[in-house]
Homo-oligomer: A and B are copies of this chain.
């Protein structure tokens, strides 16, 4: 199925259905927990749709925010509060992170990687703590929030304390997230089952089909990340207990979420067990393409039958080394397609006339353009979902965080070729481009995944909004929360029952065996005595 016209009609009808047929929203007050980076970008479509449906959306924003533009006129009500960090602090944390993973990770020792992670932990914890204190210890702000009659709080748990504020205000809360480290939050706090035999840990780069070695690696990976997460969360247990005024843990508090909106779906992710309060809404931000700016449209049209290639390494990568930029530019010059490259660095020496550099690209509109043949990406989930939505094959140049794992999913699903950023040559990139553009299987798989993404009972955005409004209408969604939350880990795995049954079995076997042995000995000694007498 060609995902062009049919899908556009479905979008339109879905949009009409939302306005005409979904239960009418009653203009409730929604509190959104602030978050930075692409996480804020992912919250925006939900916020916009909530506002469209007549709700009042409030976002408390720390003064030093980097990504939330609260100075422009907006239908969102921003409440600016003081927090002891500046946008420069956030920028330097991010830059530090990117630089390490881009240029240092591959030739660092385990000790250096550990040191980097420990430093990151301290930085992120401090940053988070400033946001938490900025709201929770600001009694005027808290009083203001209490008076605002919020019906629900929506939080991305990459930024902590949203759950705490919801509990202090006595309102239900919902998480929206792509993943936590090896899904430790979802598994350990949300009780999401994840058998390691066929559910690969996020960031492990493993697929759903694992041999013995890979399954062992997966178990070790999960163990390692669980220990790391518990170490990370331990630092918060006391803070959470103090705020709530009773002994609790970070993880126990997270477990009180009513709904977990997970930003993947079964086109990108491998099918796995989940719970009724986990809702999969991958591609929440995807939308039909809009027209391009005139100059860009002209450049795209000039590509003729060969079409275009879209290239971006995301908003966090601002620059490359001259050597890497030259290797890439030389490759782009060898294909018959026109290339639009989002690149803010110095113009590479090898840049060919078919390639144009841009400070910023309307990525979604370009991916939805009929002339687009391939997308070179760092492998962020947002870009991947836009490519799935518009059925565009991928060349992945993953750099850090979940990007290598994301790209391994798309490679496994037959929609991508993956390259190593540090070691790829010009020829590697040319080969990869020619493969995904000329081998029809990549386009076929992209169309297949795209049709899965489009053919759902409701669009991911409508699904997310439905469950947020459900929680508001019903003051929670307790009927979806499994009873496992009240079990200890050994009860959950039935280890006490197994131990008891093993003990019973042992006793049941031991007594008859002992009896038999006793009888056997008695008979033997009788026979011996008889033998001696004879």
Query: Which residues of chain B come closer than 8 Å to A480, judged between CB atoms?
Result: 266, 271
Tell whether, in the assembled complex, residue A274 and residue B274 are in contact, meaning their CB atoms are under 8 Å apart: yes
Q: Are A494 and B273 in contact (CB under 8 A)?
A: no
Q: Answer whether residue A21 sits at the interface, using C-beta atoms and an 8 A cutoff.
A: yes
A20-B13 Cα distance, complex, nearest whole Å: 8
Known: A1-B473, A215-B491. 12 other contacts (CB 8 A): A196-B494, A197-B484, A215-B496, A220-B501, A271-B480, A271-B481, A271-B482, A271-B483, A273-B274, A273-B275, A274-B276, A457-B466
Q: What distance in Å separates the Cβ of A491 from its nearest Cβ neighbour in chain B?
A: 6
Tell whether A463 is near chain B: CB-to-CB under 8 Å. yes
Say yes or no for A497: interface residue by CB 8 A criterion. yes
User: What chain B residues lie within 8 Å of A208 (beta carbons)?
Assistant: 482-483
Q: How far is the CB of A273 from chain B (nearest CB, A)?
A: 5
- Among A241-280, those with CB < 8 Å from B are 266-267, 270-277
> Are the CB atoms of B195 and A492 closer together than 8 Å?
yes
* Residues on B with beta carbons closer than 8 Å to the beta carbon of A486: 209
Q: Are the CB atoms of A484 and B21 closer together than 8 Å? A: no
Which of A271, A452, A501 gathers most chain B CB within 10 Å?
A271
Binding site for B on A (CB under 8 A): 1, 10, 13-14, 16-17, 20-21, 23, 193, 195-198, 208-209, 212, 215-216, 219-220, 266-267, 270-277, 451-452, 455, 457-458, 462-463, 466, 470, 473-474, 479-484, 486-487, 491-494, 496-498, 500-501
Which of A21, A208, A487 neighbours the largest number of chain B CB atoms within 10 Å of its CB? A21
A481 cross-chain contacts in B, Cβ below 8 A? 271
B13, B17, B277, B462: the one contacting A271 at CB < 8 Å is B277
Distance of A510 Cα from B272 Cα, bound (Å): 38
Please provide the 7 A-B residue pairs with the shortest distance between their CB atoms, ordered closest to farther: A208-B483, A198-B483, A13-B21, A273-B273, A198-B484, A271-B482, A271-B276
The answer to whether residues A272 and B482 also contact, given A451-B474, A455-B474 and a CB cut-off of 8 A, is yes
17 contacts between A and B (CB under 8 A): A17-B17, A193-B195, A195-B492, A197-B487, A197-B497, A208-B483, A219-B498, A271-B276, A271-B479, A271-B482, A273-B275, A273-B482, A274-B276, A452-B474, A452-B479, A457-B457, A458-B458
**In the bound complex, what is the Cα–Cα distance between A396 and B466 (angstroms)?**
34
A23 to B10, CA, bound (A): 7
- Residue contact A491 to B197, C-beta cutoff 8 Å: yes
Q: How far is the CA of A320 from the CA of B458 in the complex (A)?
A: 49
B216 to A501, Cβ gap below 8 A? yes
Question: How far is B220's CA from A498's CA once the two chains are assembled, in angstroms?
Answer: 10
Residues of B within 8 A of A474 (CB): 451-452, 455
Whether the Cβ atoms of B271 and A496 lie closer than 8 Å is: no
- Alpha-carbon distance A182/B238, docked complex (angstroms): 43
Q: Are B195 and A484 in contact (CB under 8 A)?
A: yes
Q: Report whether B458 and A457 are in contact in the complex, using a CB–CB cutoff of 8 Å.
A: yes
Residues of chain B lying within 8 A (CB to CB) of residue A473: 1, 455
Bound: A98/B451 CA distance, A? 49
Q: With the chains together, A62 CA to B325 CA distance in Å?
A: 72
